[in-house]
Structure 1
Amino acid sequence: MSVRESTPPPGVRRLFSYAVEGTGPRSERPPHRGLPSSTLTLVVAADSPLLCSYSVEEWSRQEGIRHDVCIGGFHTQPVYLQRPDREEGVQVAVHPLAARRLFGVPAAALSELTHEGEDVLGSRIRSLHARVASAHPRDRAGLVAEGLASAAGRYDRVSGPRREVVGAWRLLENSGGRMRVTDVASEVGVTTRHLSTLCKAELGIGTKSLADLLRFEAAHSALREAVRGASGPRPAGIRLADLAHDHGYADHAHLDAAYRRYTGTSPTGWIAEEFRNIQAEVPTRGEDSPV
């Protein structure tokens, strides 16, 4: 996989163009799992529409929703994507607390697993998609960055998220989702129930669900790094019990349950499906500018 990164506008955590070559016979390729994460995902498909399935059964029948421009909501279940012979486009990770600035709506309004970009950003996204699809690969990320900056300019008078939600997010993210929700509420100066209500209004999920998601994401990021650093045909020496302990899970079984909830498979099942893809990745990250 080749990746070219571009400087992201405010509110974007990562923005890069990609070109992915499928490996092995198409019938033997597992689905790509779009996992729940602490970001919203925007994909501008430059070659052909992105086919998103909401279950393994849909994916196996090659059914689902096709998007030229896909916006992934702030979800807590995986999306299954087909692996064609070649994929090209631009992918953007948007901080959910910046959704108002870039999309004109809070993340809670993006209640579906995936949305067609035009339904959220209006008809102007069609012209951006056309420019990206016809541009040279090295220019695509810059075009999307400019498009998002223009969107931010249109929504610069939209009110931002509540300070209590911003504070809670920062506390939970800094603790890898392990800070107690009662302590978070106390720190930001509201009751636990009121904080959860505010989070649901902004993000679509409550404080406890946000903490669980951030903890899983921290554990999953550590697992990805361990897999990326592994050598040989399959990773060895990755102790899932230690990974569970390091991220506040009671034991391996507790971690396994979190994986099945968020990925639809176990940690070892995920490794088996994604090992070669992770090995080929070029890690990229833009400046983190949440709100």
Structure 2
Amino acid sequence: MATVHPALAPYVRSIVVYDIAFGGPGVHIGMPSTGVTFVLPLDEPLAVAWDGAPQTVSVGWSSVSGLHTTAAAVHHGDHQRGIQLSLTPVGARALWGVPAGALAGELLDLDAVDTGLADLPERLSGEASWDARLAVLDHALLDSLRRHGTPVVRPEVGRAMALLTRGVPVAVAADDVGYSRRRLSTLVHDEVGVTPKTYQRLARFADAHGRLRRAALDGDVSVARVAAESGYADQAHLARDWSGFAGCSPTEWLRREFPIVQATEHGGGGA
């Protein structure tokens, strides 16, 4: 995990450097979330498609995907290196000059989103160290931020989305910001490309995904505990959402992404 420049912090949730050796070719599951995903591979182009639609594989030296409710299938060889960023929804406006809603459900090359950053993959590939690549990335994003100016987003919409992320019911969030539920739905959809209810479900799912990933890395996995901590009614509720968003059950996801980890169904840990 790289440090995010303070000026980029409102727009960039995380910058992750990855250098992964696999046992052979395979497919990584790109999970839905409330963020905009931006990937810059180094050694070979990224081959990515929506899960279940391999005939539409996009291959390129960059990949931008807006909010989506279907998992992405990221095809890999024996080894992958690159940088992956997660942007806040307003980050799309700040860094590329487009609302996240315009990117929803899309898999695009960077030059199709912002031609001003089209040479960024080439600039990164010309550097010999991660520190140098991250410095190039920082400079490029800061330049882009200056080029597009401060994004204008209704503060009521931002507040409503923050409330939805915390699990506040849609009607309550609408009342809090003084909108009808229908009006709020229109504004949120325009901003991020999904309805308030779907945005709320994505936020809860993303929280569960993060918790389950951390638990797998710690070797102490309980799907039931993750469900309770993420605000699901029970484990079955989480399993239904996980299957809908990820295309597989939580335990199947663990088997594919963390093959040496075994999940327990109720309480406790497992290794």
Partner of 1:73: 66
Residue 257 in 1 paired to residue 240 in 2?
yes
| 1:161-172 alignment, distance < 5 Å | 161-172=153-164
Q: 2:196 aligned to 207, 210, 213, which one?
A: 207
* Cα drift, residue 119 of structure 1: 0.5
Residue 53 of structure 1 pairs with residue 52 of structure 2:
no
Tell me which residue corresponds to 1:7.
4
Instruction: Classify the secondary structure of the residue corresponding to 1:77.
Output: coil
Distance in 2 (alpha carbons) for counterparts of 1:7 and 1:197: 32
How far apart are 1:56 and its partner, in Å? 4.1
Compute the displacement of 1:180 (Å): 1.0
Q: Distance between the aligned counterparts of 1:168 and 1:277, measured in 2?
A: 40
Aligned residues: 257
Q: How far 1:79 sits from its partner (Å)?
A: 0.5
Contact map agreement 1:21 1:85 (CA 8 A) in 2: yes
Contact 1:38 1:213 in 2 (8 A): yes
2:269 alignment counterpart = none
Please list every run of 5 or more consecutive structure 1 residues that lacks an aligned counterpart in the other structure: 279-291
Secondary structure in structure 1 of the residue aligned to 2:232: coil
User: TM-score normalized by structure 2?
Assistant: 0.88
Q: Which amino acid aligns with 2:14?
A: R
Q: CA separation in 2, counterparts of 1:16 and 1:248?
A: 27
1:25-80 Cα offsets, whole Å, 9 max, x none, are 33xx4x1011111211111121111000223462xx8x611021111111111100
Q: Decide which of 37, 58, 62 is 1:41's aligned counterpart.
A: 37
Match runs of 1:86-235 below 5 Å:
86-122=79-115, 124-138=116-130, 139-156=132-149, 159-173=151-165, 175=166, 178-230=167-219
1:82 aligns to what SS in structure 2?
strand
Higher relative contact order (CA 8 A, sep 6+): 1
Change (3 A) 1:73 1:149: same
Over residues 81-114 of structure 1, what are the superposed CA-to-partner deviations in whole Å (9 max), with x where a residue is unaligned?
1121111222111111221111101001113431
* Cα separation, 2, equivalents of 1:74 and 1:57: 17
Where does structure 2 lack aligned partners over 5 or more consecutive residues? 262-271
CA distance in 1, matches of 2:180, 2:118: 44
Structure 1 pair 156–57 and aligned structure 2 pair: CA distance change class (3 A): closer
The equivalent of 1:289 in structure 2 is none
RMSD: 2.0
Q: Report deviation, 1:277.
A: 9.1
Separation in 1, partners of 2:73, 2:129? 25
Residue 252 of structure 2: aligned partner: 269
Runs in 1 of length 4+ with deviation above 6 angstroms?
none
Q: Secondary structure at the match of 2:188?
A: helix
The one-letter code of the counterpart of 2:59 is R
- Over residues 123-163 of structure 1, what are the superposed CA-to-partner deviations in whole Å (9 max), with x where a residue is unaligned? x4332211101211321122112111111111105x41111
- Paired with 1:246 and 1:88, the residues of 2 have a C-alpha distance of 33
Cα deviation, 1:185-221, whole Å, max 9, x if unaligned, reads 1111111111111000111111111111111111222
Q: Which amino acid aligns with 2:97?
A: G
